[in-house]
Structure 1
């Protein structure tokens, strides 16, 4: 059994720090190999949180080396220190480059050729408070070794592959890592029970993964809670004591619900356990068999009902079936559709969700737009729109076309065939295509490979009555006449005197078509609209698209007009950068972010902002923009912090009397910028919403 070793000399000055580390595998123990199964890599990781230090050992069985041509090259972070590379007791020549590769020359001696290749190494990590975004760390508050950070010797071209992982952690830390959790053991310092190490407060955990790729690991001074699904999957929470007492049961209950839900709809969950673990870092990450959530995120009341389900579903799409990133990343769009969107649907908010996605897209500058098929990663700005929103709408449109049953059948077949394997768009398309008689290749080719979106317009709509009932005529056109989109468009007719509505689906494959819709009722049609429920990914028309705060966030050319000593740096929590300043005398009458002028953020105290706007004949408070915006407080109310877009200009206002209030408001906009206005008191929203717009409906003349 592997033992925790405190090796002399590893604390000496000059030990290299591994800055970008993130995930941990395990195993120095020789687990039995079942006949017919491929041999497993074995990894042992030993963690010393108080010393911010790890030691690792990788053992590759001889069968994994049979195809090696004299040399093996591993990805291996340059901050790691190699102690030993050997085979059959013989040291092997090796070179660890600054580029992050370990080159090993295999010994051709027949006496050692049948033995495993063993690499032992060590590193000192950053403390949690010093780690950068996405970086690895280890300390008393917790540890994290990220997937893909090469904190162990790995050969991506040989993955996915079977791996057994053993982790020994000192200082009372518990551990979670990629794969199925097998067991934990803790040594009692007084009795020595479990004999897992020679240090006080040591825990041992073992994990197995039949198709591991880019492993991850986390540790912390956690309390453990356990539950179980109907199929016997062990569900754990690993939280600090206060969080476990307050939220552990809720997180386990919702996790069980999600595992059973997605198993029923897609196919059996790929692992024997699932763990929700806390991190001192502000993260929300999914890995094989576990998810890692920031300690400040866990108490948020909506997380168990929304974001947690998204992370659990990634164990089907992303870590159950891996995306072949050479062909793009299909996982986020599909996960958003089957988790976030479905949850909104069940709350009766699906239409609002689709509308928000299309308004965000309308706020995106044309130069930032790119096709869904080119999305590789990232969850903010243009990346979120291309990867999450555009992708989810693709699946929503496909469901309208082929039906929910066929779509889910194709996805279930895809999961069954590619679980623990890589798959790209061609494999996913083929599986869904096989579940329907339709030829889906043109659909996917367009919505994956093409940037932009259709712009639709209804011309000359009219209604007439004849002997057979009412008919509606119109011309349906799209703006791109040179390269028209192939799009299935819902036209919705509403009847007079609240007699309901009728939806007619039209296949538009040309620049324009003449329509004649035969209605199924005797009621008089009153008005008609193109896609009023936002079921097509498209450019919104001006009459259905209010300006939103997201415009300034999405445009890299956004500038700030600071007033009265306000600093552009106050916007960094929202924009993720310090914007350049703009001339305070700039013309306020230009278009929004999509127009010729870059968006400008007017930043300052409430009085300074109001004076600047008044001098230019613009509304000085959001209450002056629209009289029929009912949820805004009275104009005389003393709201501390205000963010709002000034209609018919490219200006966004951030107004509050102190730098701290303005910075707090900017931070809130990371999650609230889908609105036209946001008003806050004491850091809490008191009003938020969208400016009223006319909408897409057209009256039907006789």
Structure 2
């Protein structure tokens, strides 16, 4: 049952006032409604209006609960005899301005909120505001006509029916025919952006003009709505809008979300919080929560959004581990409660239960019933309960029905119980038969649970799986111990290695983390009495001491080490013996993990990829590290070092949100996080390996429930690769008709995409010719680069550009580089570099349609890359309008089609200090991980730009056995990998085009590189047959693979070997290795000195012609 409201609303934001007239459907002869105490109503239709009571209305336990507001309860009485279909008309006017206040408790768990306000900055009205009348306890549909000042705009649920603007006023009407729990109205001076399809209107309302930011959200909206429509059911509204709030918030309303100005500009939000807010339009804002029976919605939304996105990145197990870790950190004695009692998040413990435990419940159900039944159950639940209130039992019943099983008793044991199981593993190995025992060791009664056990036999490299079930026996009790026999000799056992079961983790499964301290029931914060920043540290401590048993003391007041609480040591210098003992424990743990803090430098653990330079001056950076308490390993001690007083308030605000990490490094006064990580963990008690046996890593190959549809078109890129690698183009050799056709085809694509011609003569082609010595013949080779651009919009950056290069040419039938035996054969060059051209075209196509760069983006399809990088050098020599020397950065895309076989490498990140941070940020923002390689062993089109001091990188998926061979064919290209590379490239270009400052080049203007490797080289004449590991930092060269039938394979070299010398010439790195090979002749016998498994070996090899 629902009512209908028709309202005409006038807003005066500077005065904080509102007036309205409302027409209500009759709901009997008498009904009551609450109204904000700042409003004075009058009844305009027949009947009487009576004040019943006045009270503080609690904001409720909905998706976004608010604090109480003063309200009055009014009763309308309608005389008998009036027609039932006559509406009730009410009008009111008054002021609504509730201040922003902190809501929630605990460090990092509070946030600013208001139940409703009308002010110059904006308007926020919700059900908790009690701003419009409708009968209490009913759902409502509505039509809302809003009268606003000129230049203002308004957003509500449903469909916008019209918007009219004049010099004095703006009129906006929103209609919602979907029954709602409350009516929202948000208004401000917005810049509006939109994108429409026949089924959806995507909208973005920003407080400042930013078309590029809007384009990202419009695109993401379309992606996520489509994804969830396929997973759950049709999107239940006609629009979805991102609305920028005037305070930091994260609200999810039906058909729109209200996010804070900083939040929406965080680069990772599009892959974290935003899908969560979109999904709430199915869960919570269409299928409503029956709050008295528990809030199932937040956990399910987190599972199908936050967890799903990490699962799609292959990091689902890591996400679940962090959920379990958070439960262990925050849910201490007295803070646990059943899921049935969860209403909303207001502390670390309520989040760990209501979001984390609930998320794991749905994951365990999914593992139990299987993917298809789980999906069908979700779809059935949505179809049955859309626009109705639903409970935990309802969704469990729908999934059970889809799976053909009764999940009720099992699910209720988790929904109505508290705590979590803890497990231990015992193994009795045997030659012919082995015995595996799993035991629940927690103090509480055993839980009903299914736990996966993976094991490997000594006779096989395959991992096998057994599901161990703890179910009630004939007496109705669940056993503490279960076991099973395995035929054969065991090599290894792993219990729940992917964290599929909700359980308390053993301490050895996770490192000490910052969250352990924030989640501890008792904490001590030690202030540095002699620090000139003492008062700033005191402010930080007091902001963290708002909830629970938290003591703050000076270091001089601490007489002994506290045995009963987690500890923060704040700043330095520090005094006192007890404090020094705690500090020493933290520092020693850091030293073991290669994290050290000294008065001169910070040093970070060796990481791959390295996040920052090894040494950084302390005065610009803040460092945080934790360790186990020296007297109680269940407690954690943390040390915070900061020499910038202005950064301390930022640390107070930010650190609670980094609970999963063991160490952090922040830069500047903001401060900005530049490094983070976890200490290594000890062997888990749920892991067993036979002595003297090495087993393969256990990999989780499971796919996510669903993935967002790609914005980039994999099929189109594969089609482009096939066209360029087609035998009709005969390998696109420089000077050939095939290359001429290919460059014409690229120019046609540039024009079709919408790039502007950018060659010096105003066309797409920059043509030239050069003489080449081919055998005994001198030929004049005609060449041309294809150049297109997207113009920059910032006049102050005119002349500057960001360059993207991908070479079109390849080796044809073997010139200028050919392996022995391949002379005259077509080299199709699918990976090298049809893949790079395809990625460049697709990236340009998407950016043209969505982005207006501040700085000009130039796309260059070069010729003659295979001929000593002559196409890139030509651009540097000939381009005058956008001089190469004024380029901000260069990205060369070369050989990016084999991601499934390797990894995405960014070579040459050492050419600017920012590259490594850019690569890491792109990983966070897009989910596409890359490995930053400081040196540049690639030698592609970026190298000539290094020579003139321009920072540049090469994107590549690495070397392989088909490099420069006829076997480099289109059928070996990874289409999903092309999407990942293009996604990375697009994000990089959008960042670089908007970046206001130049990159910090490490090259120097006119630098010629650090070796002859940056100059045109005579080709190598010999082949050893090794495929190098580009990510290895030396010393020497690590072998990633060996070419089949090569001298390396015949001599017994293998992957993992490290090349250290050839004869007596030491190999320093990949460049040095290449230089040594250039000096050798085919047929030469050399001694290759290697390291293998820590041992030095010398192997004689006879080289063959390349």
- The answer to whether the aligner puts 1:675 opposite 2:654 as a matched pair is no
Question: Is there any run of 5+ residues in structure 1 with no aligned partner, and where?
Answer: 1-36, 190-199, 591-596
Q: Offset of 1:659 from its aligned partner? A: 4.0
Structure 2 residue 540 is the aligned partner of structure 1 residue 570:
yes
Counterpart contact for 1:128–1:141, Cα < 8 Å: no
Task: Report what 2:252 is aligned to.
Answer: 286
Residue 36 (structure 2) aligns with: 77
Aligned equivalents of 1:622, 1:480: Cα separation in 2: 29
* Cα separation, 2, equivalents of 1:687 and 1:610: 31
SS in 2 for 1:152: coil
Measure how far apart 1:312 and its partner are.
0.6
Q: How does 1:52-201 map to 2 (within 5 A)?
A: 52-62=16-26, 64=27, 66=28, 68=29, 71-78=30-37, 80-88=38-46, 92-95=49-52, 97-99=54-56, 100-110=71-81, 115-126=86-97, 133-157=113-137, 159-178=138-157, 180-189=158-167, 200-201=168-169
Q: Name whichever of 129-138 and 96-105 sits farther off.
A: 129-138
Q: Which runs of 5+ in 2 are unaligned?
A: 57-70, 103-111, 472-477, 596-604, 631-635, 693-1106
- Cα offset, 1:611, TM superposition: 10
Q: Which residue of 1 aligns with 2:304?
A: 338
**SS of 1:388 mapped into structure 2:** helix
Distance 2:459 2:649 in 1: 50
**Structure-to-structure mapping, 1:167-566, within 5 angstroms:** 167-178=146-157, 180-189=158-167, 200-229=168-197, 231-243=198-210, 245-364=211-330, 365-378=332-345, 380-459=347-426, 461-466=427-432, 471-480=433-442, 483-494=445-456, 499-509=461-471, 510-518=478-486, 525-564=490-529, 565-566=534-535
Query: Structure 2 CA distance, aligned partners of 1:664 and 1:326?
Result: 39
Question: Is residue 307–residue 319 contact of structure 2 (8 Å, CA) maintained in 1?
Answer: yes
Secondary structure of the structure 1 residue equivalent to 2:343: coil
- In 2, Cα distance between equivalents of 1:109 and 1:173: 44
Residues 255 and 54 of structure 1: is their aligned pair in 2 closer, same or farther, counting only changes over 3 Å? Answer: same
1:89-133 CA distance string (max 9 Å, x none): x55344462442322241425358763222222232338878952
- For residues 657 and 459 of structure 2, the distance between their equivalents in structure 1, rounded to whole angstroms, comes to 40
**2:525 aligns to what SS in structure 1?**
strand
Residue range with higher mean Cα deviation, 568-577 or 40-49? 568-577
Query: Aligned equivalents of 1:356 and 1:678: distance in 2?
Result: 17
Question: How many Å apart are 1:186 and its aligned residue?
Answer: 2.1
State the distance in 2 between where 1:369 and 1:130 align.
27
Stretch of structure 1 that moved more, 352-361 or 420-429: 420-429
The answer to whether the 8 Å contact 2:528/2:573 transfers is: no
Matched position secondary structure for 1:344: helix
Residue 107 of structure 2 is matched in structure 1 by: none
- Following the alignment from structure 1 to structure 2, what is the Cα–Cα distance between the partners of residues 357 and 693? 17
Q: 1:118 to 1:636 in 2, by over 3 A?
A: closer
Matching of residue 580 in structure 1 with residue 563 in structure 2: no
TM-score, normalised via structure 2 length: 0.54
Partner of 1:666: 652
Q: Distance in 2 between matches of 1:370 and 1:166?
A: 44
1:13 matched to which residue of 2? Answer: none
Checking the alignment, whether the CA contact within 8 Å between 2:545 and 2:551 is kept in structure 1 is no
Secondary structure in 2 matching 1:262: helix
Larger radius of gyration: 2
Identify if the C-alpha distance between structure 1 residues 618 and 202 changes in structure 2 by more than 3 Å, giving closer, same or farther.
Answer: same
1:380-419 Cα shifts (integer Å, max 9, x gaps): 4111111111111111111110011111111111111111
Higher relative contact order (CA 8 A, sep 6+): 1
Cα distance between partner residues in 2 of 1:559 and 1:318:
39
1:491–1:221 distance in 2 versus 1, CA, 3 Å: same
Which moved further from structure 2: 505-514 or 443-452? 505-514
Q: Distance in 1 between matches of 2:95 and 2:645?
A: 38
Q: Aligned to 1:484, what secondary structure does the other structure show?
A: coil
Q: Retained in 2: the 8 A contact 1:94–1:105?
A: no
1:439-496 deviations in Å (ceiling 9; x for gaps): 201221111111110010012x132232xxxx43132111247621111111122456
More moved, 614-623 vs 119-128: 614-623
1:319 is paired with a residue of what secondary structure?
coil
Post-superposition offset of 1:216: 1.7
Task: Give 3-state SS (helix, strand or coil) of 1:664's partner.
Answer: helix
Give yes or no for contact 1:606–1:656 (8 Å, CA) kept in 2: no
Distance in 2 separating the partners of 1:587 and 1:538: 35
Deviations 1:606-657 (A, max 9, x none): 6669994358753447632534943497689626322222223442222323
Does the C-alpha gap of structure 1 residues 114 and 272 become closer, same or farther in structure 2, counting only changes over 3 Å?
Answer: closer
Closer, same or farther: CA 573–274 of 1 in aligned 2, 3 Å: farther
Shift of residue 373, structure 1, vs aligned partner:
2.1
Aligned length, in residue pairs: 631
Equivalence for 1:692: 680
Give deviations 1:318-364, integer Å, cap 9, x for gaps: 00100011111110011011111111111111111011111111212
CA contact under 8 A between 2:16 and 2:118: conserved in structure 1? yes
Structure 2 CA distance for aligned equivalents of residues 168 and 408 of structure 1: 44
Distance 1:664 1:293 in 2: 21
What's the C-alpha RMSD, in Å, of the aligned pairs?
A: 2.9
Q: Which residue of 1 aligns with 2:629?
A: 648
Distance 1:129 1:373 in 2: 30
- Residue 43 of structure 1 corresponds to 7
Q: Cα deviation per residue 1:555-581 (whole Å; 9 max; x = unaligned)?
A: 353232212234443146666669432
| Alignment map for 1:20-39 (pairs within 5 Å) | none
* SS at structure 1 position matched to 2:263: coil
Q: Tell me if the contact between 1:102 and 1:153 (Cα under 8 Å) persists in the aligned partners.
A: no
8 Å contact from structure 2 (residues 287, 385) kept in 1: yes
Q: Is 1:630 equivalent to 2:606 in the alignment? A: yes
Q: In structure 2, what is the Cα distance between the partners aligned to 1:266 and 1:608?
A: 59
Distance in 1 of aligned mates of 2:627 and 2:443: 33
Contact 2:11-2:19 within 8 A present in 1 as well: yes
Q: What secondary structure, in the 3-state scheme, does the structure 2 residue paired with 1:537 have?
A: coil
